[in-house]
Amino acid sequence: MSKQEKRLSFASDYMRGAHPDILRRLEESNLEKVSGYGRDGITETARDRIRSVCGSPDAMVEFLVGGTQANAVVIGAFLRPYQGVIAAVTGHVSGHEAGAIEAGGHKVLALPQVDGKLQADTVRGFLQDFYGDENHEHMVMPGMVYISQPTESGTLYSKSEIVALRKVCDDYKIPLYLDGARLAYALACPSNDVSLPDIAKLCDVFYIGGTKCGLLFGEAVVIPDAKAVDGFFTMIKQHGALLAKGWLLGLQFDELFRGGLYGRIGETAIKAAERLRGALTEKGYRLCFNSPTNQVFCVMENKALEKIAEKVEYGFWEKFDDEHTVVRFATDWYTTDEEIDALISVL
């Protein structure tokens, strides 16, 4: 019994297992016994590597299994019960987490976005209006700003944009949270100017995604000022997000940050995406959202799509008009030239 799917697939970047180097590490120590819940030596080493690569020596680093739970735990830990989280209306927490944030009691305060990005001015205007409303104590207090890098649309915040958001957050004394589910693919973009240390300096909390970036699964939550939050370990447990075999996460992240693997993973996917974008443009397709990352969005004729769907699995994004659809092709840390060639040949 194989798990192979017949068609070529570019539907997402979480369709393969783990980078072979990661799997090799798991095999090496598979039968050794290690203490549970991330309180082991290898996980501690992974924490140190992340602190080091982020230039954030005192950071709290905790490893969780997935993104939705990382968002729910972080937001639940940072907010007071009468507060909500500001996010772009297209943000992952706004619409695609089945109400995980609301299940924790918090409203997502969804604001308009541009290219998937929350603009500092939009946030500031919202906060001004909120505090300018004499009834604001009857409303959910904005208690955090949530962004993701790259965004749901594959776009990137520039450093100056994040600095501007940081300024708003400082002015209103609310934390800034960056969801880095696909952060490796942002960092590897030639046009990116935001480094991990920048993020650690500008954000109160962020996570470095592993599930979509070469690991079997796992996300590393980083809180540069460890004192910014309390009871975080118990919050993880309460959310059902504490892996008994925590070292499974620690060991994967240790490998990811041991010898440059994290960087190579990003580069592989970005190069593949760039080749694909070049080919699409050459063939006259219209690209969308100006994404420089591993997600390639383009407009396709519905009729053409029917034929393409026979040979390649893509991601449906949204209706463009009655005769066109926006689709997504995602590359990953293993996408080969052959795969891209095969895809191009059917488009």
Alpha-carbon distances of 273 from 107, 150, 191, rounded to whole Å? 35, 14, 14
Shortest CB 158 distance to a second copy, Å: 28
Shortest CB 327 distance to a second copy, Å: 13
Shortest CB 337 distance to a second copy, Å: 15
- Length of the chain equals 347
Q: Are the C-beta atoms of 40 and 247 separated by less than 8 Å?
A: yes
> Measured from the CB atom, is 301 or 313 closer to a second copy?
313
> Measured from the CB atom, is 20 or 197 closer to a second copy?
20
Tokens representing 337 are 């030239």
Shortest CB 191 distance to a second copy, Å: 27
> Measured from the CB atom, is 138 or 227 closer to a second copy?
138
> Measured from the CB atom, is 107 or 275 closer to a second copy?
107
> Measured from the CB atom, is 246 or 266 closer to a second copy?
246
> Measured from the CB atom, is 157 or 207 closer to a second copy?
207
Shortest CB 159 distance to a second copy, Å: 29
> Measured from the CB atom, is 158 or 336 closer to a second copy?
336
Shortest CB 43 distance to a second copy, Å: 9
Shortest CB 21 distance to a second copy, Å: 11
